[in-house]
Structure formats: C-alpha cells, structure tokens
Amino acid sequence: MKKLTLIVATFFICIFCIKSYCQKKAFVAYEQKIPGTALTISMIPIPGGNFAMGSPNSEKGRSVDEGPVNTVEIAPFWMQEVEVSWDLYLLFISREIDKNKDEGFMGTEVSLDVDAVSGATTPYVDMSFGMGTEGYPATSMTQYAASKFCEWLSALTGNFYRLPTEAEWEYACRAGTETAYSFDDSTFKISEFAWYADNSDNKYQKIGQKRPNPWGLYDMHGNVAEWTLDAYNTAIYKKRKRTKTVDPFEKPAKTYPRVVRGGSWKDSSDKLRSASRGYSEKRWKMRDPQIPKSKWWHTDAPFVGFRIVRPYITPSPREQQLYWKEKHTN
C-alpha cells in the first residue's frame, strides 16, 4: 500500500514538474538588471491565494460593474514595485540597448530574438506633456505598446514579463485587505498613499513617493492608472455568478475597451478604490494627427501607464505570444 501511495505521489509531482517546466526559482524579491544600463526593476513576490474580487453594494462610490463579488483564486507571481518610468520606457522607444543583451546573465524562460520584437514609433509630440520624465511614470502609450514593451524586456532579459490580468491587479492592490482601499475604508489617510485630484497639482508625480500597500507596492492607488490585459466587460462579474474562479482573464477580441485600474492624478478618491474599474476609449486618440491613428500612442491619455508582472510558473512559448498580442481571436 505504501509503495502504491509513493507511486501515485511521484506521478503527481512529475505532472506538476512538467506543468511548471521543472522550474525551481526562489520566490523572493529581486532586481531585474537592464543590460547596458545602470537601471534595475524591483520585483515583489505576490503569494498565491484566494480573495473576494469586486465591491459590496454598501461600498461608498462603487459602480454596478464591480459586482457581484466573486471568489477568485490567483497563482503566485512577481509584480513591479513601482510603475514603469520614462527612464526605462524611452529605452524601448530608442532601442539603443538591444545590442547589449547580456548572454551570460540571461534567464531561461524566454527564447526570443530581441530584433524580432516590433519597435514603437517615436512620439510626434512630447508625451510627458511637460510633466517630467526622469523618475516619473511613463504615460500615454496604448495597451498594445505596453504589451510590446513586456515582450521586448522578456527578449532582452530571458525572463517572461507581461501586463497583469485585471484579477491579478486587484489582488495585488488589496494585498490581503477587504476594505475599499488597501489602507482603510475611509479616505482620511488617502493623501499618505496616493496622488489624486485633490493633491496632485494637476499632473503626475515621481514614482514611489507615497506609502506602499501592505505588500510593498507603491502607487497602486492614483498617480497614473494602469493597463491590465483584460477586455472590459461590464457584466463579467455577473457571468461568473459567485462561483470560485481560477486566474480569470477576459481575452480581448477588439481594440476597445480595455481595462485600466487604480485611478490617476486627475481622478476623485472614489476612482482610486481597489475594486474601481476604468476602461480605454477611442477618444483617447482624439488629437492623433496620424492616418490611420497610431497603435502605439494615446495623445489624450497622459493619465495612463502600467507596471509589469512575471508569473512564477512560466507559460509555454505559444502562450507567451498570446499575452503579447494586440487581440485574441481564439
């Protein structure tokens, strides 16, 4: 009987090993070096677990698209400590460091030629709109551009990076809390944690200046809203019908709308709640002079940026490509 139990246990261990590509990675915070620069990206481990996604009817400022509340299970992943800065994003635009790919310190999760990754067009106006670049969050890019940044960074480092799903984003923002914000239900302390309409001086601010949430993530509330991978579906929570859902992802089949989270420097406090959902709109390209309009830039969205994640279990090469695509048709 003991022998049979051992065989069964060994079988399931092997299955898990195959699923995770036999990875044995230390699940700790780390600094991702950017080859050819002095820049690094701080990545924070987010433990897997269950949480109540959405907001109850009693939550002040809630919208109908935030319910009903669903129990969601999330697999472990790393999330960037702060929003992607212009310092880093401009390297993706210029592509001057591609030749500095450091083969001696490459990860093994991604096998991709950096030259095969599409490069973003140079912006036709100052996309910081005079609000600052050094140490400030990158803004105004489309979700496609943010995903291509992730693909470029993956090719450059050998580690797999992507945008977070909407569920991952809320889970990380809440950081184990069940209140409207990661710090409380009240907005009494909000200025300690967030840049928003009442304290931002009508512009974004340098990243990481406010207090972090309980898991060490900065600016999850306010400063700039953040792209997620998901298509926006106003009724998706109702579709899940309060059943336990594992790593949900609403795959986009069209360009608009896509989900953004966290609220920004121009929003009121209720838009900064952990459950609050925003979405992209065509009017974000209203002043785009290009014909057809750019797939890289939103001329009228200086309030949107992003941060990256790295799942603990690396998806297959085919799945990786799906996360970086503009649209999902399958």
Q: What is residue 295's DSSP assignment? A: S
Q: What is residue 176's DSSP assignment? A: T
Predicted confidence at residue 263, as pLDDT, reads 98
Omega within 30 of 0 (cis) for the link into 68: yes
Of the chain, the percentage scoring pLDDT greater than 90 comes to 84
Predicted confidence at residue 13, as pLDDT, reads 35
CA–CA gap between residue 107 and residue 116 (Å, rounded): 18
Q: Is pLDDT at 3 greater than 70 in this prediction?
A: no
Encoded tokens for 253: 């089949």
Predicted confidence at residue 103, as pLDDT, reads 65
Predicted confidence at residue 193, as pLDDT, reads 98
Task: Indicate the range of 80-94, 111-125, 188-202, 217-231 predicted with least confidence.
Answer: 111-125
Omega within 30 of 0 (cis) for the link into 292: yes
Predicted confidence at residue 158, as pLDDT, reads 96
Omega within 30 of 0 (cis) for the link into 311: no
CA 147 to chain centre: 9
Q: Is pLDDT at 162 greater than 80 in this prediction?
A: yes
Phi-psi region of 169 (alpha: psi -120 to 50; beta: other; left: phi over 0): alpha
pLDDT digits (tens, 9 = 90+) for 230-256: 999 999 999 987 677 999 999 999 999
pLDDT digits (tens, 9 = 90+) for 63-83: 999 999 999 999 999 999 999
pLDDT digits (tens, 9 = 90+) for 134-150: 999 999 999 999 999 99
Predicted confidence at residue 10, as pLDDT, reads 35
Task: Indicate the range of 121-125, 202-206, 220-224 predicted with least confidence.
Answer: 121-125
What's the first-to-final CA gap in the chain, in angstroms?
45
More confident call, 132 vs 21? 132
Q: What is residue 297's DSSP assignment? A: B
CA–CA gap between residue 87 and residue 246 (Å, rounded): 35
Helices (H), 182-280: 190-193, 236-240
> What are φ and ψ of residue 258, in 5° steps?
-115, 155
Predicted confidence at residue 105, as pLDDT, reads 75
Residue-averaged pLDDT of the chain: 91
* pLDDT interval class at 37 (50, 70, 90): very high
* pLDDT interval class at 15 (50, 70, 90): very low
CA–CA gap between residue 21 and residue 32 (Å, rounded): 21
